[in-house]
Structure 1
Amino acid sequence: MLIFADHMPTATEKICIYQNYKIEEIMTLNFSSPISHIMNTFELTPPGNLQSMYGYPDDALIDEQSRDMLYCRYLTENPVAFCKLMGIVCAIYESNAVAFWFVISHSEYRDDYANCFMKFLQTRYGLLSNEVSGPGDLVELKQAEFSLMGLANYQLDRERYLAISGIAQQEAMRDGFQQG
């Protein structure tokens, strides 16, 4: 389950999620909030102007679809952002009993990237997100389930993630020691 909100989950919201959705844990992640005591995912937000990173003039007006495509490039081409993304996507794949609560800021700049991130997850993996502004929004939350194409993309991305992060080499070495 993926939840995006402009606040930390309240006790009432946590109880509602635990009771109504068979969730065992709520992992709170800081997408773009100034709150400092929760795990951040700032690597998912491009540092600086995304347009200039990909050769557009800083003052160029780009439409929403173009911004979404540039953000997709950022997530898939930047190894740090890609590894942070895959850490979250792998955790979603491995456990349906965890809700991921992303705290976002009220800044238009940050909200744009939160929206781009939600669209990326839905387009690439078929994962639906929920936007929550209060307890009333918890009545009918959508579960995060991979689509068939999303599973294929996940497998490809996971292989690349393992190679980039060095986990594949560690597993190979461990398997070699266990076989020998």
Structure 2
Amino acid sequence: MIGIVLAGGQSLRFGRDKATCQLPGQKYSNVQLAVNKLSACEQIIVCANRANQGKIKSQLGSGITIVCDLAEYANHGPLAAIATATSLRTGDVDYQMLPVDYPNLTPATVNRIADQPNTVAATVGHAHYTIAHFRCSHRQVVNWLAHGDWRLRHFIIDCCHCQPLLFPDSHEFINLNYDQGEHIP
């Protein structure tokens, strides 16, 4: 299984880069936390943006593949990251996707998703489409995008046939949209 870390967002509501941010009380930055939680993956691909790519490289060191969106998909959100990550492999591959803006996800939750193919994390009344385990090929992603549908939900459900994996509502599934803490370099 290949891990995909979604770290290329613009962080407009947050006001600074979420990926490289280290929140008060955290030992690591959000991107480091996400990478550390993907222990079931044989390789991890961090999908960054041009602005944060260098800082992510310095935070993660060697051994992690860091990419920016392919030019034809640039700035199109999580599906651009999936298209870019899948371009590095041939054929159908299992992927586990994790965004940087859920820093409270526990390793146990991430491992439960890793153990359940074709699933998307869900809580009562809400699916978390960026937290998923799916199987696909680059060709499958390209064919999907050729139809112009950039909605991650449609890709995960209709193309990859993922089913919800239900978790209790908890602080684990609170998305980091707004900066509530003090700035830590």
Q: Is this a same-fold pair by TM over 0.5?
A: no
Larger helix percent: 1
| Higher RCO (CA < 8 A, seq sep 6+) | 1
Which has the greater radius of gyration? 1
TM-score by length of 2: 0.29
TM-score by length of 1: 0.30
Larger strand percent: 2
